[in-house]
A and B are shown apart, each in its own frame.
Chain A
Amino acid sequence: MIRDDVCDLEISAVAPLLRERRLSPVELTDAYLERIQRLDPSLNSYIRVMPDQARAAARQAEREIADGGWRGPLHGVPLGIKDLFDVAGVPTTMGSSILRDNVPDLDATVVSHLKAAGAVILGKHNLHEFAFGITSENPHFGAVHNPWSLDRVPGGSSGGTAAAVAAGLCAGGLGSDTGASIRAPASFCGVVGLKPTYGRVSRAGALPLAWSLDHAGPLARSVADCAILLQAIAGHDARDHASAMQAVPDFSADLARGVAGLRVGVPREYFFEVVEPDVERLVRDAIATLEQLGASVQEVSLPHVSHAQVAGNVIMSSEAAAWHTTWLRERPHDYGPDVLQRIRGGLLVRATEYLHSQQMRTLIQQDFARAFERVDVVVGPSVPLVAPPIGRTLEPGRSLNVAPRSVANRTTVPCNLTGMPAISVPCGFSDGLPVGLQIMGPAFAEPLVLRVAAAYEAATDWRQHKPRLTAGSTARAER
């Protein structure tokens, strides 16, 4: 048996070992499966582990690599998938009781891309029910726990994916983001999460929350790993009505270019108005780091962005209610109370309010377009706070007198409305809990967003910090 610490290796580090046959995909997969078996009872990050399928895929990867057929940096790499993406023959529950026995015949397009890249699918990750919430306190499959502090939420809705990536229970993962659902858990769990441009990554075979806001994207332990994962899943797909006819660039090509000469915008309004003091301090320190690396920093104005949360919540609840209408009437008792309340709320929203919210969306898009005439990227906090305690997300926090649930998508939802790419990269710790820096760029500028994130990541050592988990004990941080 190889050592458990291979599970801490980033994809960019493990790929050459696999390619050069210094590490076996089968042994690596077994190491992850053993680690999941040992540690996941504390985290509950997986709804379903798929050991037989994973080992079969690993054996196939091993044979192909031995025969000189290395497919690329994901070949033989064990990944996890949020349980709203279809994997053929395996239930896609969306974290719900209603879909417990929903077994698709086809892979989601992103899953088929990962399989084509030779990845090993370890299993399906736990999430907030129907992806409609930021806590991943799932009433049907149990709450996901944050590996940095087991009594805290991991964020959501891709909470299982972020927790598993942070804890070394998969090398990377696939999440979705409708208002915060990749970036908030990435921030809370101290990993990197990228919401690509709307239309960049197919959502075919992913169950929807809100069609006009839904995005699929990667979570990983480094910016480079996010670029590798995005490379595999990006591209036009005729199965997705919203998929963009856009050339796919090399997302890793600019990672080492640095930020010298780039212009970084810091929003004058909104992003720093409701934020924990420690989070603001760490994000402003990160902005200072970018400046020290040669970027110029200037303030930008986004006059309509303060209405983003209202517009986002109107659109999200309305579109969710439209998708859930039949079950709302026929199976209300099969929903958890918070999700039922939020989706039912969408039934009350009037068409004029939906359309006004869509107009607000246009104005917010115009605000960002004007900002991007002056700057290359806009930065701010990923989430205004650190991970709150499980079961207490409706109570005001320690240094921010608002309920975490009411502000968790505050700084992320603008990019769901505009469709712009945005990444969360770790930028420090507040009382041992991770904080994320959000970097937002113009549509289809993922290479630029990744470049800025990589420059910041390379200048700091935050990703060297790992949560230390032992079976059956509470988590604590170590370097």
Chain B
Amino acid sequence: MAEPAAGEAVRQVVGAQLSDREAAALANWYVALARGVADFPQADLKAVEPPLGSTPGPPA
């Protein structure tokens, strides 16, 4: 369960009047997701780029 301080941080980021329960639910959802990302082998991440690229604009 997320700490009350986490709930306050969630309110600030989301920018909405959230009940303690709503804020805690969001914080818990985010923490689980963030842990999932953090659990990924970091050495593997170093080996690749994200599939993002710069698309050339119109010719000069």
Contact = CB atoms under 8 A, between A and B. Distances in A.
Given A341-B25, A341-B29, A345-B30, A359 B48 contact: yes
Interface string B20-49: 001001110110011011011000110111
Contacts of A350: 34
A363 B33 contact: no
A356 interface: yes
B30 A349 contact: yes
Given A358-B51, A359-B48, A348 B26 contact: yes
A348 B14 contact: yes
Given A356-B45, A359-B48, A329 B33 contact: no
Interface stretch (A120-128, A134-142, A227-235, A307-315): A307-315
A329 B15 contact: yes
Contacts of B60: none
A211 B26 CA distance: 23
A347 interface: yes
Contacts of A360: 37, 40, 45
Given A341-B25, A344-B14, A304 B44 contact: yes
A124 B48 CA distance: 42
B5 interface: no
A88 interface: no
A328 interface: yes
Size category, B interface: 20 to 34
A365 B51 contact: yes
Contacts of A313: 33
B1 interface: no
A355 B50 CA distance: 6
Contacts of A353: 33-34, 37
Given A304-B44, A362-B50, A365-B51, A357 B37 contact: yes
By secondary structure, the B interface counts as: helix
Contacts of B10: 348
Contacts of A332: 16
B48 A363 contact: yes
A358 B25 CA distance: 25
Nearest to B50: A358
Interface centre among A307, A310, A329, A361 (most CB of B within 10 A): A310
B45 A359 contact: yes
Given A348-B14, A362-B50, A356 B44 contact: no
Contacts of B48: 359, 362-363, 366
Interface in A60-107: none
A345 B26 contact: yes
Given A356-B40, A360-B40, A363-B44, A347 B13 contact: yes
Given A329-B16, A332-B16, A356-B40, A345 B33 contact: yes
In the A-B complex, the 10 residue pairs with the closest CB atoms: A358-B50, A310-B36, A348-B30, A362-B48, A353-B37, A359-B45, A345-B29, A359-B50, A356-B37, A344-B14
Interface of B: 10, 13-16, 22, 25-27, 29-30, 33-34, 36-37, 39-40, 44-45, 47-52
Interface of A: 304, 307, 309-311, 313-314, 317, 328-329, 332, 341, 344-345, 347-350, 353, 355-363, 365-366
10 contacts: A332-B16, A345-B33, A348-B14, A348-B26, A353-B33, A353-B34, A353-B37, A356-B37, A359-B49, A363-B44
